[in-house]
Amino acid sequence: MSIIVQKYGGTSVGTPERIKAVANRVIQKKNQGHQLVVIVSAMGKTTDSLIELARQITDNPAPREMDMLLTTGEQVSISLLAMALMDQGQPAVSFTGPQLGIQTTSLHQKARILDIDVSRIHQALAQNQVVVVAGFQGVSENQEITTLGRGGSDTSAVALAAKLRATCEIYTDVEGIYTMDPRKLPGAKKLDYITSEEMMEMASLGAGVLHHRSVELAHKFQVPLYLASTFSDQPGTWVVNGGNEGMEESLVTGMTSSRSDVQVTLMNLPAGMKSLRRIFSEMAEKEVNVDMISQMMNGNQRMYVSFTIPREDVQVARSLMETWHAEDDAIHWDINENIVKMSIVGLGMRTHSGVAGNVFAALEGAGIELKMVTTSEINISWVLAEEDEAKAIQAIGQAFELAEEE
């Protein structure tokens, strides 16, 4: 009998009614002849409420105690789902992360999974039980309760699937991976398949469906990953390992658009690697995550450098630049917060040249000016003014046939 690992997110288990519906879906799958391991997140907005409780106590909670607090959310969900399964006649048993021995590093709130002892899972499966596991949590070498940070429950699910050599099905409130967020591009196509390489690019570029980390893990351990909606029976999207030559590849698989970055421009920097190295190493020390970079000379001795950083890091960046300006008052800087970062992703770009040209042509045709462009092997990213976002999405969507025809 094959093992299937299913993961249900917070919205999917947001109320007792929904938990019962999830139990029903799990049993359906079980009755098709599979063994089921189910990972759940905390119900609905539970995690947010717990964070708010902590905030009312202190502005600076100890990460260890935050983990102690937040892991209760999933513990509630697993017990309720196990009850719902048993209420529908299906034997079930729930396990916390520590109970199952989901061994992690000891970095609270950002722990990484080291290993999982699946012996208790195998025992329970052999007794015809559905195994319900708390996502997002584990235990360190010192028996401390840890959490995995952002995307943690997806990561728990993929890691368990890897260890159990199982398929991993992730259920959320969206029906799969689309060429583009359908709220932004009406008619955006749902993909039946996407390669994990493309998915990793999409995830790190801001498509919020699956966290980068879990896709990476699935890729590394060759875990078949399937993404679909808890609330419908529509087929979802398979994330497959790349290089499947038989699969018809489109040139561009998907598109993302994100307002979570700002553009920083430094003017009249002394030319040369030395000042570039200094800028980016000081940014890195402060954990400012620099993404797109473009640089050009400004006369012989001076240059411009422009780059994007996450919006939440603006204050840190500002204080760094004030230091540089204080040391060399020729240096000036500008922060543009009204920008959008857009990208297209597709394995097909590897073998087809001219995609960038098509992007420029489409945007030019729509009368849009680019502020910055970078390209990598399987993606092209660009920055434009916020007010041009909708027009650009239309133009690119049309140029690469990302939406259904009307």
92 phi, psi to nearest 5 deg: -150, 160
Closer residue to a copy of itself (CB): 64 or 112: 64
Closer residue to a copy of itself (CB): 140 or 256: 140
User: Do 236 and 163 form a contact (C-beta atoms < 8 A)?
Assistant: no
CA distance 190 to 123: 39
CB burial class (10 A; 0-12, 13-18, 19+) of residue 81? Answer: buried
What three-state secondary structure class fits 181? coil
The residues with which 190 forms a beta bridge, in sequence order, are 178
Compose the 342-381 pattern: x for residues touching a copy of itself by CB under 8 A, - for all others: ----------------------------------------
Choice from 29, 34, 72, 348 touching a copy of itself (CB under 8 A):
72
Minimum distance between the CB of residue 126 and a copy of itself, rounded to whole angstroms? 16
Choice from 31, 60, 300, 351 touching a copy of itself (CB under 8 A):
60
Closer residue to a copy of itself (CB): 10 or 346: 10
CA distance 222 to 211: 17
CB burial class (10 A; 0-12, 13-18, 19+) of residue 185? Answer: buried
Choice from 21, 45, 51, 54 touching a copy of itself (CB under 8 A):
54
Minimum distance between the CB of residue 37 and a copy of itself, rounded to whole angstroms? 17
Closer residue to a copy of itself (CB): 99 or 398: 99
CA distance 146 to 67: 6
Choice from 5, 36, 40, 80 touching a copy of itself (CB under 8 A):
80
Residue closest to 108 by CA, chosen among 133, 134, 153, 138 = 138
The answer to whether 89 contacts a copy of itself (rule: CB under 8 A) is no
CA distance 131 to 5: 9
Closer residue to a copy of itself (CB): 144 or 291: 144
Closer residue to a copy of itself (CB): 52 or 334: 52
Q: Which helix or strand (DSSP H or E) is residue 383 part of?
A: strand 379-385
Compose the 6-45 pattern: x for residues touching a copy of itself by CB under 8 A, - for all others: ----------x--xx-------------------------
Tokens of 151: 């995307």
Choice from 86, 293, 314, 331 touching a copy of itself (CB under 8 A):
86
Tokens of 92: 């079930």
Compose the 115-154 pattern: x for residues touching a copy of itself by CB under 8 A, - for all others: ----------------------------x-x---------
The answer to whether 71 contacts a copy of itself (rule: CB under 8 A) is yes
Closer residue to a copy of itself (CB): 81 or 380: 81
How many chain residues interact with a copy of itself (CB under 8 A)?
A: 37
> Strands across the sheet with 339-345, in order?
254-258, 339-345, 379-385, 372-375
Concatenated DSSP letters for 111-140? --EEEE--HHHHHHHHTTPEEEEETTEEE-
Q: Which residues bind a copy of itself (CB under 8 A)?
A: 16, 19-20, 50, 53-54, 56-62, 64-66, 68-69, 71-72, 75-76, 78-80, 82-84, 86-87, 93-94, 96, 98-99, 143, 145
